[in-house]
A and B are shown apart, each in its own frame.
Chain A
Amino acid sequence: MTEATELSYSELRSLVTKAARGAGLDWGLAEEAGWAAEWLARRGLPAADWAMLWLGPRSEGQACPVEAGCRLAEGPGGDSLPDGLHGPGYLLPFIARVAAARGPVALTSAQGLVAAVATDGRVTFGPCWGTRTDGWTLGPAADRGPAARPVVGRMTLEGLDAMALRTTVPRSDSSSRDAGAGTMDND
């Protein structure tokens, strides 16, 4: 099969539920996986591809983001996530449950923002989003409202500034001189 297939949401949900069960999750958790798949797909996120990231490792006995997501949403147990979880996109629907209960939350790593989830389930990805968890923890985030203006990290801002500066011409003595500097304007 080379072409892509458009699925209905219910087909995707059913498929991921069954695949999760097939990967060894108990039925109740498999249902959570199916629910999470539809949640992601309805937000335009690649639910099927992300499922493939964790289904294989899960069937080999590794922890999966659905189990971790339920723990996170259902506490108690702290807001740290185990390292090395594949397919961390499947954490997002459960983090949205946390956000609905506690207010907007952010996943962060030592390097910065991984993702933020608003109370209405809106997801903003940060620069540290990845394909595996690595020192990720959950904490409160400011709810910036539905038409949020962009929040940009320091390193990103510096990087963008640096690239933007390439549209400018470096300072030279002649440019300074020709601009009128060196004479007094307040005469």
Chain B
Amino acid sequence: MTGTLPAVPLRDPDEVMRLSRMGSAHPMRLSFLHVLLRRIASEGWRFDRPLWQIDDRGVGRAVYRARGPERTYCLVAFAHDLPDEMRSDRVIATAWDATFALVDGEPTLADLDRLEANVPLQEAGRISARELSLSRANRSVRLFAHVVDRLAEGRQPDLAEIDAVGYLMRTTAVYGSGKFGAADREDIADRPELKAPFQVEMLSVWLTRAFTVDIAEHLARVKGGAAAVRMEPGLRRRLGVGNSTGLGMAPFLVRHPRLLNAWMTGRETALARVRSLPAADPASLAGFRRALDAARENARHWQSAHPAQVTKLADLGADLAAIEAHLATWDSTQPQPWDALWRWGAGHLSEEGQEALLSLMIEPQGALVDDLARALDADEATGFAIDTAMSLDQFRAILARDYGWAGGFDFTDPAQSARFWYVSEDKLEPRLGDRRAEAGQEREQPLGIAMAVAGLSAALSDWPGAGTLAAFLRGHACHRHTVRRVLMLQGLPYAEIRDNVLAAGMLPIDILRCKLAFFGATRFDPRSDRWVRISLFQGLPYPDEVSA
């Protein structure tokens, strides 16, 4: 066959942007922590720990320094002596085992003192434009004690214990982007190393991971003296940083549609590029196999008690086995073999398995897809001012073209508007209420885009055809938010979750899983419909392993 094979188009947003599929997302090589680690490796960043003032109770402060080609960042860690009864992962907690701030540059002693007076207080303290993030972590009591005890005795921790938990500490919040006084995202986003999303937060968590092992080894030395040993590197690698996340993270993807579009476009472009490849070279075939083996290994350790996730994990196990079996008959020498594999998967695998296949197919294709990491960020300011001179006919056409999906929900059915999102007064955190049973819907957050679009469409059809948006908005200020959104998101196919986040059966964990997969999180483990634990950096190198 001669000539060029047609490029495979990107997947349809009506398929990609449904909650059930977003809730099946897997981490992949464009996930933000992998973007960070590739940059650190390729630029030869250097790491050290210039300060370690931790006493025999495990209380004190430490500094972890990361030196890039142009700038230095330091994680300042404060270790506390937290009574067990005060340990809570909820955002309403007021004390933690350790608290952290990522400093832009190197902290002076005055900075350290200032941070020591504020960082342990978390939300009740203030940081400054010199800091990029604020976070905290709690121990996994069982594994932490086990590791300290074993190391103190001169023995290595039990492999099964390590794998059952997977981390020594879990972060319960990592705040960046101007929160609590930190530097504004806009003012640092032009730095190449911080341009991709959440690089500050990922760097902070990665350095935190080193701290979690250091503090355990420190306490083992205190306890065991000369008999104590350090953790064996292979075991240490199996530890990530845990993370507990609740509803607070869910509205982000609705509030940052341009970012969501950039992330999804990056991932979907990567998939389309791989599917468009005319042939499969031996290296990528071998890489695919390795990725499949790793995924099966990961799936064996991935546990959850949540019914929805139990089903998904069963699907995933069966699907990975099916992929393995299919490889025996898949003709990797046919034209566009990856596309053939993908199309087989679309016909034979669950959504869970299909999205896993996506990650596996991208994994060995770094040369083909890694440049896409440069376009995962988004300018969220452009187009904020509404073009109110636009004719209503033109606006109606845009709405019909881009938001046809929103017409698929019948909001006369109470089940479609059963929920409402609000912010709790006590902790200023997002919550999900029952519209017909709970008070407060007059304080609803504007997150129900499908319902808002339905309301806007109805108002527009009652409005005489001619005229401009200016006239319409003057009579309908309540639709201004939605009008702006529609105009700002023109031409961005993956900006909207094409689902109804107010519906009775909606699972917030689907939104969380999508976002966490883009972070690079593994071991997604819902503890309820609204609360999950995950692991970050598990199996990946530590700073002292990549330092030149």
Decide whether A and B assemble into one complex.
yes
**Chain A to chain B: the 4 pairs with minimum beta-carbon distance, closest first:** A28-B480, A10-B178, A8-B178, A28-B481
Asked if A28 and B181 sit within 8 Å, CB to CB, the answer is no
The interface on chain A, measured as residues whose beta carbon lies within 8 A of the other chain's beta carbons, has a size of: 22
Asked if B181 and A8 sit within 8 Å, CB to CB, the answer is yes
Mark interface residues in B28-47 (1 if CB within 8 Å of A CB, else 0). 00000000000000000000
Asked if A8 and B473 sit within 8 Å, CB to CB, the answer is no
Asked if A8 and B179 sit within 8 Å, CB to CB, the answer is yes
Can you name the residue of chain A whose Cβ is closest to the Cβ of B385? A97
Asked if B480 and A8 sit within 8 Å, CB to CB, the answer is no
Mark interface residues in A22-34 (1 if CB within 8 Å of B CB, else 0). 0001111101100
Q: Does B470 contact A (CB under 8 A)?
A: yes
Asked if B477 and A29 sit within 8 Å, CB to CB, the answer is yes
Asked if B184 and A28 sit within 8 Å, CB to CB, the answer is no
Asked if A29 and B480 sit within 8 Å, CB to CB, the answer is yes
Q: Does B284 contact A (CB under 8 A)?
A: no
Q: With A71-B474, A74-B388, A76-B470 in contact, is A9–B184 under 8 Å at CB?
A: yes
Asked if A75 and B478 sit within 8 Å, CB to CB, the answer is no
Q: Does A63 contact B (CB under 8 A)?
A: no
Q: Which chain A residues lie closer than 8 Å to B477 at the CB level?
A: 25-26, 28-29, 67
Chain B interface helix/strand/loop/mixed? helix
Asked if A27 and B481 sit within 8 Å, CB to CB, the answer is yes
CA distance A35 to B479 in the complex (A): 18
Q: With A27-B480, A29-B477 in contact, is A8–B446 under 8 Å at CB?
A: no
CA distance A35 to B381 in the complex (A): 9
Q: Does A6 contact B (CB under 8 A)?
A: yes
Can you name the residue of chain A whose Cβ is closest to the Cβ of B180? A11
Q: Which chain B residues lie closer than 8 Å to A48 at the CB level?
A: none
Across the interface, B484 reaches (CB within 8 A) one of A7, A9, A31, A71, namely A31
Can you name the residue of chain B whose Cβ is closest to the Cβ of A94? B385
Q: Which chain A residues lie closer than 8 Å to B388 at the CB level?
A: 74-75
Can you name the residue of chain B whose Cβ is closest to the Cβ of A100? B385
Q: Does B182 contact A (CB under 8 A)?
A: yes
Q: Does A128 contact B (CB under 8 A)?
A: no
Can you name the residue of chain A whose Cβ is closest to the Cβ of B387? A74
Q: Which chain B residues lie closer than 8 Å to A25 at the CB level?
A: 477
Q: Does B126 contact A (CB under 8 A)?
A: yes
Give the Cβ gap from B95 to chain A, nearest Cβ, in Å: 22
Across the interface, A7 reaches (CB within 8 A) one of B181, B389, B481, namely B181
Q: With A28-B482, A28-B483, A28-B484 in contact, is A75–B182 under 8 Å at CB?
A: no
Q: Does B261 contact A (CB under 8 A)?
A: no
Give the Cβ gap from A171 to chain B, nearest Cβ, in Å: 58
26 contacts between A and B (CB under 8 A): A6-B129, A8-B129, A8-B178, A8-B179, A9-B186, A10-B177, A10-B186, A11-B178, A11-B180, A11-B181, A26-B477, A26-B480, A27-B478, A27-B481, A28-B473, A28-B480, A32-B480, A35-B384, A71-B474, A73-B385, A74-B388, A74-B470, A74-B473, A75-B388, A75-B470, A97-B385
How many A-B contacts are there with CB distance less than 8 Å?
A: 66
Q: Does A5 contact B (CB under 8 A)?
A: yes
Mark interface residues in B163-190 (1 if CB within 8 Å of A CB, else 0). 0000000000000011111111111000
Asked if A27 and B446 sit within 8 Å, CB to CB, the answer is yes
Give the Cβ gap from B103 to chain A, nearest Cβ, in Å: 15
Can you name the residue of chain A whose Cβ is closest to the Cβ of B445? A27
Give the Cβ gap from B178 to chain A, nearest Cβ, in Å: 3
CA distance A25 to B479 in the complex (A): 12
Asked if B484 and A10 sit within 8 Å, CB to CB, the answer is no
Q: Does B128 contact A (CB under 8 A)?
A: yes
CA distance A6 to B178 in the complex (A): 11
Q: Does B295 contact A (CB under 8 A)?
A: no
Q: Which chain B residues lie closer than 8 Å to A27 at the CB level?
A: 446, 478, 480-481
CA distance A5 to B126 in the complex (A): 9
Q: Which chain A residues lie closer than 8 Å to B386 at the CB level?
A: 74
Q: Which chain A residues lie closer than 8 Å to B473 at the CB level?
A: 28, 74
Mark interface residues in B364-389 (1 if CB within 8 Å of A CB, else 0). 00000000000000000000111011
Give the Cβ gap from A18 to chain B, nearest Cβ, in Å: 8
Q: Which chain B residues lie closer than 8 Å to A71 at the CB level?
A: 474
Can you name the residue of chain A whose Cβ is closest to the Cβ of B423? A18
CA distance A66 to B480 in the complex (A): 13
B-facing residues in A6-57 (Cβ within 8 Å) = 6-11, 25-29, 31-32, 35
CA distance A26 to B444 in the complex (A): 11
Most chain B CB inside 10 Å of its own CB: which residue of A6, A27, A35, A76: A27
CA distance A11 to B129 in the complex (A): 12
CA distance A10 to B380 in the complex (A): 13
CA distance A75 to B388 in the complex (A): 8
